[in-house]
């Protein structure tokens, strides 16, 4: 399939892809696939104004009707699943299966949000005063800015957008400059959904803001954008958080992860091996939840390492559009350079590196394919505590579980973690208040690949935001606590008497 | 009752109140009542370290046991209610009834938190994969810094501390420099509770950090203090938020309010008048929820104003320890100067000022008593949109409800609001998604005087934090999403296939 | 449109409708439209066995997958909306708009249930013991028997089935003998959904049990059917409840209603009039939530009555398939006779009857059309306290609200109720703990026409069951409270010491 | 301590204990300890009337105030803990430690209920119609009848009463005829609490109904008692359920248990042994949650049996007031006879009986002490499937886990169950939808000794009721679903159009 065929199938016309100032290349081969226009700062302001206008209309559309919009979106995504998955692959280089999985995640969150649209539960609360009642209600909060990263070019938008829209808020999406094509394709779908939905859906419900760092900064700074959801590096997240907090806005941050797996003596090693390989090399190690640190009990270290290395040996690194490919390219040359630097630093720290070298350099000189790396470390040095966005798996031994958990928690990031064990005590300790300090803590599955029904996000340098399931929707609404007096009296709370009669 | 008697009754010895570098005066008469030591920066670090150590122990004490600690606290507070209320009055100048009400609020939140200690509900979530289950658990997060303001010198601490402690976290309290005595008195109580509880309660569970702005900054900056709850001015809150966000910590902000009441033609005017007076002059207008703006329908403007002015005329401004006093002093001279400046600015804007002049200047030359002010305004000028922390009530007319709501929402602050009406449509519109944009929206009660069962806090420049009831406890915990695989298979989420066999 | 065309459009073949022992007539004209087979008692047992077998398989299908089944059902229902609505009209005689509304309700509950399929939230609960955790989980409970009534021949099934299936339970549906055709049509749809879903959906997931009272009794008596949901008369419900309770099964009862509206002096009378007419004559007064009692303040009695009578005068009573028809036939001649008897009894009690006479007797001699009746009563006599399943609206005056609420609560049924008022105090009192004692209490909308997002059902003789929204899903699951000890100790709850060492 | 001293300490005067028609004996020695009056049927009606009257007042007392009543109860119970525990022992024969534990459970539920009193959360629900909102509120339901059994003579009352009272309902308590003294003692406490609370607490808030089966039947039959909570045998429960369902009331049933433990090869055997002994012989095997069936993997059968038998050998069977006693008497001679019959039947089925014989027959000829029995069975015969209320532990072997779970689920009762394992897969399978079918399913703790934070109760012949924690409070309230229209329009749900204009 040529890129052009894929673009056409996803509704992207030649006109859409020509004449702009942002040069888009595909990580598959490094070729330029589009030149698309970016927003000027006047455009940005106009987009924000349009969102504000859309908000005034959309917040009064009943939530179940808003749910119908999201249902239509889910339906369109089901229809376009393959076409969109292909653009995901072309845009960010992940393999077809993962592209399909990413679109499935969009569909899942739509289904979930439709159900939410008849819930968005507030509370009726017992009041201490006769003839009074208390209510907690959740109301739309205003335009939501979504800053997404290249590695999940569409799913992250959908987690935010499906909830934000059901909650009564328009969205403004600033995709990664590296992957704007998927955003364009999704925007086409949104426009179709708007048309199907009819006039109640305002024009500015879903808008795209193509641009670089300034575009993101404009969203972060605007008081008209009460919520900014930002996915990306910890560095970016801190910058966003400070700008947003300067105006007392709300940030939802999904930042770096440095995710570990502990493998205990009782683990099902065959299961562990499969989980390790998928979570360490899936999306070429470029998931925020990718497995980066493996902490293995000394008693099983040898057989497990042998089995992993053997699996790595046979991993097909290839064009991600090829059937059979399991590892596609890194996003670009700087990413490959960063990986090589990390491996060198690890070597300097005494690490034994297995794999990790550039590959397919002849076939795709402008792309950045690598063989995934395993690095055996004696201790958790600085480089191990850093997140290198590439398929590098650091492996360490441990002797007792406390020590393993301490090592797991030692890094600044707090996104995902897991343990492989069949011992219920080990599993429960890992999940307990003195266990993993991450937002995600799994047992017998890898750190990546969350279902949408749970809240997704992490602690510490991961930024503390939560998206997707559970009550993550509350981040997209404002809470109103009301006390209603329907009596003829005016008793004060806490029994205060205030009167000079 | 002499101050000394009051101090002794509250367990404050002479030694506690002498020899320090922080000079404490009572707003009642401006006299110096104590000189207490402040923490050096080394002290501060030691306090934080002790809190961290306490955390390691306390997080593993079962939550219902932690609830028992808070139950004992509630019991002690019941016993000490009057003694502590007196210190509240001496420290911040609020009248006895309000001092008692404030301690009652502490007791209420303790009762509530005890119940919570057997809840702190996480979720069991349906998983999409066979042989899997998902859990959302809430775990202790670490030491909580509490920065409180002079106007609720003890209640705000208790909202935060009762929840934080039940949730498994030690607290470090930096009270206002203006009201450290209440903090000392509460600290004595906490020490008694610790002793009653026995060895499971670590030493550093409740600590006091007496100091100025640097002490607050140290809490905001420390990565060992994952949650900082700050109550005070918007200016202070923005500063805290930025420092905390720089390290990706969590802030709970309760900042300024500029709270309005809308009075509609159908209102019960007698009820409205009483609510206006209490909420505008209670605590001498120094509540964050004090009524500052009154938006009255033109058809009832005259009678309502007449009735309010008449009530103001007979308001007893007096020493707050006197029985019968309803309005005590402002916190200090600068507060009175700021009030006079505001009144002058309002006059310049065409406002008609009623009352507002300094009083009791002979009796208490070093204190800052004022007569509460009513200012009739033709429009909502800059000074009206500002929060002046004093009993100044701006009054404006409106013609239709939309206009009134727009005026109510026009200010930057978003804390509290209310409507007086007997018309259910007006009430519901006020509470709806296009109604009041505040965190608190009441019907037929004033903006101040929240019950502890609801979540307390506000939007926009009020900072977005929520404390006290509902699920505010979640702000004091970390959320863990776990997926547990107990099958022998390793299915991936979203149906992804990843295998080269 | 001929019946045959309608049947064909809904997938009912001639073979489906011929040769059975149950003669099905349409209330539209009294003609026989089908003869369908009923289940023998051996058939019934086989159906129950098949359901049990299906249960063993279905309970292990992950809930979100079960949700997918329901999503497919919703999709099919969208596709078949008109065709199915026509069968509803032919089967039970309700007008086309109401038939469409009923199918829409099926669709709505499917959307809702899909969202639930990723929730079905259990709880993680704080344990009092170190190294312990508590979980509350919800598990599938087993086959659910659904006994439905003629007046909502498909919606009631869908409320139960969508939830039951998402919750992991097969359903066995015993429709009213009067309306089996809609059930056959829905069964066809279910079979299509099963086929689309694939082999994970067991054959016995959705089964039909066509039969009379014995069929219902068999479901009620079978220990293999842990949950029996029964909609119909109070008499039937009591019988079911006793049989089910004899084996300690669970009943969900939706029985009779005798629903009232209170109209207060401040009511929007135009709105009230429209609500009265729709809720009193919609579905020819044969909804369980139909308005049967109107309690009007004496001050507005005259104009309101005039306006209602005028509206009744112009009500088109007609073949429900006709465009423009608002009132179709009663279900059968006995229903008409019962109505006439009720009117006579009311007359004997001093009631003034307006309308109520049989109509279209020439055009449809075998059908039972009537003009809706208004009966002005001086007091709430025995006949008024009875539920007559026909369009009879008893009207009474009241003087003060307490008296009106007492009258509203005086009947044995407790399903639905409403107040029309613009006075917020009246509205709130009506909704308060001393207000309406019904399961449904509306303000400014009639008693009928619930949205699916709320829990539907009533108190007292209505049977106490809840279906549809909120946490009604819990009725279809079993609750499991688990305490998990992952420590090496065995502390007892409540601090008990039990040891002889 | 003499009985008289104990009675006096608990506030029971001689007058309270003399002259009635109900002869009360202590199981400790079979001696008559009191003769107390029972209610005539006129008394019963008066009690119910008084409860109804109390309801009308109490339902309007704000819930947090109602919580204060329960807080005072908890405080009194703390004060009276020992005194009341002694009466528990004298009345039902359980050892002092268990008596104290039972009172602690009362205290715990009070603390929990106080917290609930500011929750009792209803829902604000998103409505599909513009200008509408939906609320789910929970209101007091009316007098609650509590029928309790001898084995938990006070805790069961407190679970029900603490919740019922916070929920706004008076309670009528019919204790077991075998243990009325504890009820008298608790009633004294309630009267003190009423007095402390002041006039808002109506006289009939807590009433005692002393009597036999007719008294219970009167509660079950009365339409003035909307909720009947009954704890006892399955036979009794079925009878109550049918009477209550005849009037469409609500039953909360806590009936028989036949609770099993599965011990797997990976179990911590020392822990298992201790749990087995406590849960099989605690309260002399007369807990509804007592361990009755032990299902042991064949590989560990021998060592486990040896260890249990050795523990049984040294169990002190003694006067329960004696320090050191671990096993007190059965409740009476018929109970001992039933136990002997069961052992004989088990022998006939091939069971090997260890222990079980009457003891202390000389010391206490009128009491019914026994040595706890272990019975090794080859299969689960009829007698094993029966609940014999005595310390009889049937032991069986299993080979694979499925078989063990099937055996565990094979009985008609569904109260409590547990597994001892350190294998997380076994634990999770046991807790899964195809695992234990009981209301309680524990891991590594015995079946008895629930914390109050979870919902307590069971499935199948256990009756399906839930008491104590989680959302069990909902059983004591009526649910109200309200839709509120504050717009000027009258849109119908499901988009129905109904108009002839």
ipTM (interface predicted TM): 0.97
Report the residue of A60, A126, A136, A422 to disrupt the D interface, i.e. the one with the largest count of D CBs within 10 Å.
Answer: A126
> Pairing mode, if any, of strands B22-25 and A144-147?
unpaired
* pLDDT for residue D499: 74
Chain D, window 129-168: residues with a beta carbon less than 8 angstroms from a chain C beta carbon: 129, 132, 134-137, 139-141, 168
Residues C252, C167 contacting (CB under 8 angstroms): no
Q: What is the DSSP letter of D452?
A: T
- Nearest one of B307, D363, D340, B440 to A484, comparing CA atoms: B440
Average pLDDT, chain A: 97
Which position has the token pair 């069929």?
Answer: C215
Comparing A161-175, B486-500, D166-180, which segment has the lowest mean pLDDT?
A: B486-500
CA distance A491 to B421: 17
CA distance C434 to D59: 7
**Residue B501: pLDDT band by 50, 70, 90 thresholds?**
low
Q: How far is CA D411 from CA A279, C477, D405, D416, in A?
A: 45, 20, 11, 12
* pLDDT for residue A495: 83
Q: Which residue of C has its CA nearest to D323?
A: C500
Residues A195, A206 contacting (CB under 8 angstroms): no
CA distance D73 to B87: 31
Q: One of D254, D376, D387, D467 is an active-site residue; which one?
A: D254
Angle CA A426–A432–A435, to nearest 5: 70
Domains along the sequence of chain A with CATH: 3-255+463-482 (3.40.605.10), 259-443 (3.40.309.10)
Q: Identify the bridge partners of residue D132 per DSSP, sorted by sequence position.
A: D485
Span C1-60, pLDDT tens digits: 799 999 999 999 999 999 999 999 999 999 999 999 999 999 999 999 999 999 999 999
Q: Identify the bridge partners of residue C198 per DSSP, sorted by sequence position.
A: none
D107 touches chain B (CB under 8 A): no
Sign, CA torsion B452/B455/B460/B464: positive
Structure tokens that stand for D497 in this block: 């159009």
Average pLDDT, chain C: 97
Residue D188 CB: number of other CB atoms within 10 A?
A: 18
Q: How far is CA C20 from CA B326, C8, C15, C41, C217, in A?
A: 85, 18, 10, 16, 21
Residues C136, D454 contacting (CB under 8 angstroms): yes
Residue D13 CB: number of other CB atoms within 10 A?
A: 11
Span B190-203, pLDDT tens digits: 999 999 999 999 99
Residues C328, C319 contacting (CB under 8 angstroms): yes
User: Nearest CB to A118: which of C469, C484, C488?
Assistant: C469
**Residue C500: pLDDT band by 50, 70, 90 thresholds?**
low
Q: Which residue has the higher pLDDT, C244 or C497?
A: C244
Span A104-130, pLDDT tens digits: 999 999 999 999 999 999 999 999 999
- Nearest one of C236, C307, C250 to C277, comparing CA atoms: C307
* pLDDT for residue D500: 60
D488 touches chain C (CB under 8 A): yes
Cβ neighbours of C137 in B, within 8 Å: 124, 133
Q: Active-site residue numbers of A?
A: 254
Span A73-106, pLDDT tens digits: 999 999 999 999 999 999 999 999 999 999 999 9
- SS3 (DSSP) at C31: coil
Query: A137 and D124: CB-CB below 8 Å?
Result: yes
Backbone phi, then psi, for B318, in 5-degree steps? -165, 175
**Residue D85 C-beta-side C-alpha neighbours within 13 Å:** 22
Q: What is the mean pLDDT of residues C373-383?
A: 98
Q: What is the mean pLDDT of residues A264-270?
A: 98
Output the DSSP codes for B271-329: HHHHHHHHHHHGGGG-STT-EEEEEEEGGGHHHHHHHHHHHHHT--B--TTSTT--B--
Cβ neighbours of B238 in A, within 8 Å: 245-246, 248
Contacts of residue D53, defined as CB under 8 A and 6 or more positions apart, other chains included, come to D202, D204
Structure tokens that stand for A193 in this block: 């959904």
- Nearest one of C464, C344, C373 to C415, comparing CA atoms: C464
**Residue A501: pLDDT band by 50, 70, 90 thresholds?**
low
CA distance B234 to B231: 9
* pLDDT for residue B500: 61
CA distance A176 to A162: 19
Cα distance between the two ends of chain D: 87
CA distance A214 to A226: 18
Chain D, window 395-454: residues with a beta carbon less than 8 angstroms from a chain B beta carbon: 424-425, 427-429, 432, 451-453
Q: How far is CA D348 from CA A87, B313, D351, in A?
A: 75, 95, 7
User: Nearest CB to C97: which of D101, D237, D497?
Assistant: D497
**Ranges in chain D, pLDDT < 70:** 500-501
Q: What is the DSSP letter of D117?
A: T
Residues D172, D209 contacting (CB under 8 angstroms): yes
Angle CA A443–A151–A461, to nearest 5: 60
* pLDDT for residue C449: 87
Query: D67 and B111: CB-CB below 8 Å?
Result: yes
Structure tokens that stand for D226 in this block: 């909307």
Query: D496 and C135: CB-CB below 8 Å?
Result: no
Residues A119, C453 contacting (CB under 8 angstroms): yes
C489 touches chain A (CB under 8 A): no
- The 3-state secondary structure of D393-443, one letter per residue: EEEEEECCHHHHHHHHHCCCEECEEEEECCEHHHHHHHHCCCCCCCCEEEE
Query: D111 and B112: CB-CB below 8 Å?
Result: no
A62 touches chain C (CB under 8 A): no
Residues D148, D178 contacting (CB under 8 angstroms): no
Proportion of chain A above pLDDT 70, given as a percent: 100
Span B435-491, pLDDT tens digits: 999 999 999 999 998 999 999 999 999 999 999 999 999 999 999 999 999 999 998
Sign, CA torsion D371/D376/D381/D387: positive
Cβ neighbours of A71 in C, within 8 Å: 111
* pLDDT for residue A499: 75
* pLDDT for residue A449: 87
User: Nearest CB to B126: which of C117, C421, C422?
Assistant: C117
Q: Which residue of B has its CA nearest to D485?
A: B425
Give the minimum alpha-carbon distance from B320 to chain A in angstroms, rounded to a whole number.
13
């Amino acid at each position: 399939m040529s890129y052009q065929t894929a673009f056409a199938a996803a509704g992207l016309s030649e006109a859409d892809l020509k004449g702009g100032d942002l040069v888009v290349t595909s990580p598959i081969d490094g070729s330029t696939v589009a030149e698309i226009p970016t927003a000027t700062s006047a455009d940005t302001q106009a987009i924000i104004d349009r969102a504000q206008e859309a908000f005034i209309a959309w917040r009064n559309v009943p939530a179940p009707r808003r749910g119908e919009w999201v249902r239509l979106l889910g339906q369109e995504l089901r229809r376009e699943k393959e076409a969109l998955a292909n653009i995901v692959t072309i845009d960010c280089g992940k393999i077809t299966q993962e592209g399909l999985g990413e679109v499935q995640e969009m569909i899942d969150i739509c289904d979930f949000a439709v159900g939410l649209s008849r819930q968005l539960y507030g509370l009726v609360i017992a009041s201490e005063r006769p003839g009074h009642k208390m209510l907690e209600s959740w109301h739309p909060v205003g335009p939501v800015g979504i800053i997404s990263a290249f590695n999940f070019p569409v799913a992250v938008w959908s987690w935010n957008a499906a909830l934000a829209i059901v909650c009564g808020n328009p969205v403004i999406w600033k995709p990664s400059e590296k992957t704007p094509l998927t955003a364009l394709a999704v925007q086409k779908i949104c426009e179709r959904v708007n048309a199907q939905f009819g006039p109640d859906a305002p024009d500015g419900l879903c808008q795209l803001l193509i641009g670089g760092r300034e575009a993101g900064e404009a969203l972060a700074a605007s008081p008209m954008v009460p919520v900014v959801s930002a996915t990306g590096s910890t560095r970016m997240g801190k910058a966003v958080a400070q700008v947003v907090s300067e105006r007392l806005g709300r940030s939802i941050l999904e930042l770096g992860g440095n995710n570990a797996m502990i493998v205990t003596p009782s683990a099902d090693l065959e299961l562990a091996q499969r989980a390790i390989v998928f979570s360490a090399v899936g999306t070429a190690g470029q998931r925020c939840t990718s497995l980066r640190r493996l902490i293995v009990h000394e008693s099983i270290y040898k057989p497990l390492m042998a089995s992993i290395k053997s699996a790595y040996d046979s991993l097909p690194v290839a064009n991600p559009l090829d059937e059979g490919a399991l590892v596609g390219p890194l996003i670009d040359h700087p990413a490959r350079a960063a990986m090589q630097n990390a491996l060198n630093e690890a070597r300097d720290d005494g690490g034994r590196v297995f794999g990790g070298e550039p590959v397919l350099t002849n076939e795709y000189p402008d792309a950045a394919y690598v063989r995934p790396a395993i690095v055996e470390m004696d201790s958790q040095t600085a480089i191990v505590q850093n997140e290198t966005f590439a398929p590098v798996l650091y492996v360490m031994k441990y002797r007792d579980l406390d020590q393993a958990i301490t090592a797991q928690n030692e890094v600044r990031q707090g996104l995902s973690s897991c343990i492989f064990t069949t011992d219920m005590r080990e599993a429960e300790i890992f999940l307990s208040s003195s266990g993993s300090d991450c937002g995600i803590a799994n047992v017998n599955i890898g750190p990546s690949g969350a279902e949408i029904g749970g809240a997704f996000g992490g602690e510490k340098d991961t930024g503390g935001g939560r998206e997707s399931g559970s009550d993550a929707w509350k981040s997209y609404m404002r809470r109103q606590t009301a006390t209603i007096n329907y009596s003829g009296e005016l008793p004060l709370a806490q029994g205060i008497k205030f009167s000079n009669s």
